[in-house]
Amino acid sequence: MHVPNSGLTPQWRFVAAVFCAAAVCLTAHAGVVADSFNDWSTSGTQGEKGWWNGYYDQTADTVDGYDPAVDFTQFPAGVWNGGGYDLAPEAPWTELGQEGTHPSGPSPIHWTIRRWVSDRDVPGAVLVWRMRKTNTGCGSGVTGLLYLNGNPIDMAQITGGNGGGILRTVHAAISTGDIVELGLGSLGVDGDYGDGCDGSANRLTIYDAMPADVPIADSVYDYPWADVQGVDGWYHGYYNLTGDTDGTYQTSDFIPFGAADWTGIGWDLPGNGPWTALQQEFGHPNGANSAPNEEHWAIRRWVSDAEGRFAIWWSLRKENAGGSGTSGVLFVNGVQKDYGAVEGADTTGIRRAIVADLTVGDVLDLALTPVGPSGDRSDGSDGSRTRMWVQADLSGIPDSDGDDIFDYEDNCDFVANPDQADADGDGIGDVCDNCPDAANPGQADRDLNGAGDACEPAWIAHSFDDWSVTGTQGELGWYAGYFNLTLDADKVYAAGEFTQFPADTWVNGSWDLDKGVGGAPWTWLAQGELHPNGFTSGDEHWAIRRWVSTYAGEAALVWHMRKGNTSPSGVTGILFLNGRELDRATIAGEDGRGVYRPVYAVLEAGDIVDLALTPEGWCNNREDYSDGSFNILAATNDSGVLAGLKSNRAIVADSSKEFGGTQGGDNWYYGYYDVRADVTAGDGVYAADDFIEFDPAVWNGGAWDLVDNGVTGVGPWTEVTCTGGHPAANGQGEPSVHWAMRRWVSEVNGAIEIESYLRQNSGAGDGIYGRVMHNGEEIGARFSLGTGVRFVLRATVAAGDTIDFAIDPDGAGNLETLGIDAVNDGADGTTFLVTITRIESSVACPDDFSACACGGPTPCASCPPGSAVNDVKCTWTNAAAYDAVTIFELDTTVDPPARTLVGEPAAGATEFLLAAVAPGAHTYALQAASGWFTCETAAVTVMVPEAGTPVFTGDANSDAKIDIADAICILGRLFGPATDACKNPKCMANLDTNNDAGIDIADAISVLGYLFAGTSMKAPDGTLLRPANIGCQMYPPEEVTLPCEQPCEVE
């Protein structure tokens, strides 16, 4: 950071300034004497606060060297443009603003100059100047010069891409009237005076002593922009963790980058892997999942040239918004002093500091590692930005949770815990330890469920832990394969359609269908990572992990899925048991956290559990663009995991799959809420009837768009799309304030689970709220500003209830504090995706189960034709609500009653006939099954008659006896009036007393002979009937030739 005498070259007639070691000269109470930025005249008044603004025309200078008395040209008043000075509308590009500036070259060569004329003596003045490029896309760079009374006392050049810039300090004695000038010229690092892309920014600050907050070392300002190690004490290299035998970083493990690694702007190990790289601020580690399968940490090193107590600051943020995140580790002389990690999408990042006592030669290393907050060590999209700087000012050391313990000393940075309780002694405070009862200082959480790996339950099977490193199919019950959807006739997965990866596709520790060539199909499966293949790359393949159970009993099937290659395209995970779908989830392309889902199951030995990854993203997008993902499948019978898990789950609504241009399609409606109208003329509180359905005319073929803004150029931007939508709020002066909404009308009763993914996409503006309402009452809301959030709500609904999903543009809460005119929808395009799942925690049995015999005194009303009297018909309703029903006979002579399976009706049936049931009393119950639940109806008892047809021969009037009235009944049937009751006897077979299959006068005579002459009647089977065997008897149906609608009862 400090200017050595050797840097003041003769051609500039440099006069070496007085300078001193930072540790000696630093002053905590240094005051600002002058500052080109803060003292800037907003009115363009030259000389205000001692500052003058102009330029030096080097081309016109005939005398060698800059002379402030004659060569400084003050900008004329006419070139002031209200914010700065601009010498001409076109070339020369000589411009100077509060911070921004642009020189001119090569014809003419103009240096822009900020001049301060001292109004006091400042014997111990410290001049701090900064310079950076603002146009970093091209150009060879610029040169900065610092003058005191025309003598150059410092010079520096930066390359065209140096957007971080430099900060330099010079010590000098200043007297009243002295002239201090900061010049910027177009001279590039290659000696070229061309001014292409030379837009820059600079600033000059004069202090009365060395300020403590000026860094003595800064990895950005001190960056060499050349393949030079050791400049200002800085070195750049990496650490090969995989190649380190003890796996513990020490200063001697640092490997400097070589000349072959220099790219012109930074260092990058050659090849497509390793990805190990460092630039001015950008860096990239390498994970062991990338060639050459080594984990590398990219390291910035500073060797101290100062002594004393210093604050060591460092920062980390993601550059590539994807992957599972990265981490930074700060070492002092090889001892870890601080650590922090950022999520894959965290482009804001962290800023941390420690306090350390340094001596000359101490080594500070800032390492960038591929390890994310979850402990995932893969390096997908791990490009990040890191910075380290050292300063004497000890103020502002972060205490993020306000517990009076600095973050670097705090065992829980973001949750106040002044007691620093740490029961397991792992250095992580109990209040933020993801496994407080088992030591896990790394806080590894591979499935991102918030519980550390160290306290996971005991697993029956685990795809990651059980991975076969030799590629042995079937090892520990695990198989790796895929499903070819394109070639499948019915497009529905079945367990038998699993295709095991062939042995020759085991390549470098993973299964790769293209055998490592690097092309389509992209079907690939490793220990955690995997990739499906989309139709854009040939046949659609689902990558599948299969486990064949050796366990029988209740289990939780736990699965996790997240994106590895974050991109616009998402993926879907589906869990199957013996080919039956148990669960599914779709995640967005940028979702590096994903889902963690435990699912209840009852397993038998030999059951097949499949976890498939498909290329299907939101809105039925089946391409496989950057679909690399990570998943885990596991099984446990841990009681804590199983508690409350048992339920039946069925997706009943999906906002993406069911999106369309028809209002009411799949029970979805699309519209908006006019907030301004409700605030102005209503109560300003959303209610269900405030939903305004879009007119069909605003459907444009792909979205519901209230106004074609491409034509109008102004708001409202109210729109509902497949993936989400855009609200409206005072856009371009148009006063509409709208929530963009979609509505689902329930067709189910009971508990539902509403799973939502919300993301305001741009990260600009003040953010949005995603709101969920049940019948107009809000049941949940989440905020988003560029970051995705997944949340789950539960509700109990009835058919006809409404669930509304709204994108509210008022992320800042301006409506409540500043009024409707302050609500802003800047860049509020939003992803808001929803799936709704019906949850059953029990099943209700039919309440109308009944059973009856097909014969006997009270036969069924509608037995099938040809049924026997001892057949039993069972009936029930609501069959569609059940997967299966079964009929059991209950033996009520024991307690509890014993059950015997007697009937298995077909799916969807509402009746079942039990054939040839033994005579006597029988008790039945129906069991209904839905998913994992069964229920049993109330028992019903049936009296089953003897097989055959009961006939009481001679009992013509069915009064259970034979007398003269029976002969009269027969004669009445033959000769009586139409009103005679015997015209329609209850049992015609009773009247055929001579068994001749007809009714005539001979039957009456037969009755009279039986009564008065001692003769016999003849039964249906030909038996002669006398008083000893008379009565109600059972006969084979084929023997009874005449009908008997109301047979007698056999005793």
Residue 335, judged by CB atoms within 10 A of its CB (0-12, 13-18, 19+), counts as exposed
Chain centre distance of CA 826: 24
Decide if 619 contacts 656 (C-beta within 8 A): yes
CB atoms under 10 Å from CB of 533, counted, come to: 27
Decide if 953 contacts 1025 (C-beta within 8 A): yes
Decide if 761 contacts 831 (C-beta within 8 A): yes
Q: Which pLDDT belongs to residue 138?
A: 87
Q: Which pLDDT belongs to residue 17?
A: 31
Q: Which pLDDT belongs to residue 518?
A: 81
Rg (CA), the chain: 44
Residue among 1044, 1011, 1038, 1039 nearest 1025 (CA): 1011
Tokens, residue 938: 């109330």
Backbone dihedral region of 608: left (phi > 0), alpha (psi from -120 to 50 degrees) or beta? beta
CA distance linking residue 761 with residue 618, whole number of Å: 15
Give every CB contact of residue 510 below 8 A, 6+ residues apart in sequence: 524, 525, 526, 527, 529
Q: Where are the beta strands (DSSP E) in 38-83?
A: 51-57, 72-74
Decide if 1008 contacts 969 (C-beta within 8 A): no
| Inter-CA distances, 90 with 86, 141, 160, Å | 9, 21, 21
Question: What is the per-residue pLDDT across 674-725, written as a single tens digit (0 to 9) for each?
Answer: 999 999 999 999 999 999 999 999 999 999 999 988 777 788 999 999 999 9
CA distance linking residue 227 with residue 836, whole number of Å: 57
Is the backbone peptide bond immediately before 696 cis, with ω within 30 degrees of 0? no
Record the pTM.
0.69
Decide if 1016 contacts 1026 (C-beta within 8 A): yes
Which residue ranges in the chain fall short of pLDDT 70?
1-29, 1050-1051
Q: By three-state DSSP, how is residue 452 classified?
A: coil
Tokens, residue 123: 């014997």
Q: What are phi and psi of 458, to 5 degrees?
A: -70, 130
Tokens, residue 595: 């889902």
Tokens, residue 405: 């313990």
Please count the CA atoms within 13 angstroms of the CA of 363 that sit on its side-chain side. 18
Q: Which pLDDT belongs to residue 988?
A: 95
Question: What is the per-residue pLDDT across 497-529, written as a single tens digit (0 to 9) for each?
Answer: 999 999 999 999 999 999 888 889 999 999 999
CA distance linking residue 946 with residue 1051, whole number of Å: 10
Q: Which pLDDT belongs to residue 3?
A: 29
CB atoms under 10 Å from CB of 305, counted, come to: 18
CA distance linking residue 953 with residue 1039, whole number of Å: 13
Tokens, residue 86: 């601009």
Q: Where are the beta strands (DSSP E) in 846-919?
A: 850-853, 872-875, 884-891, 898-903, 911-914
| Inter-CA distances, 146 with 171, 648, 682, Å | 12, 75, 65
Length of the chain: 1051
Q: Which long-range contacts (CB under 8 A, 24 or more apart) does 38-46 make?
A: 40/98, 44/77, 44/80, 44/82, 44/85, 46/74, 46/75, 46/77
Residue among 149, 314, 302, 294 nearest 234 (CA): 302
CA distance linking residue 547 with residue 577, whole number of Å: 10
Is the backbone peptide bond immediately before 103 cis, with ω within 30 degrees of 0? no
Please count the CA atoms within 13 angstroms of the CA of 429 that sit on its side-chain side. 20
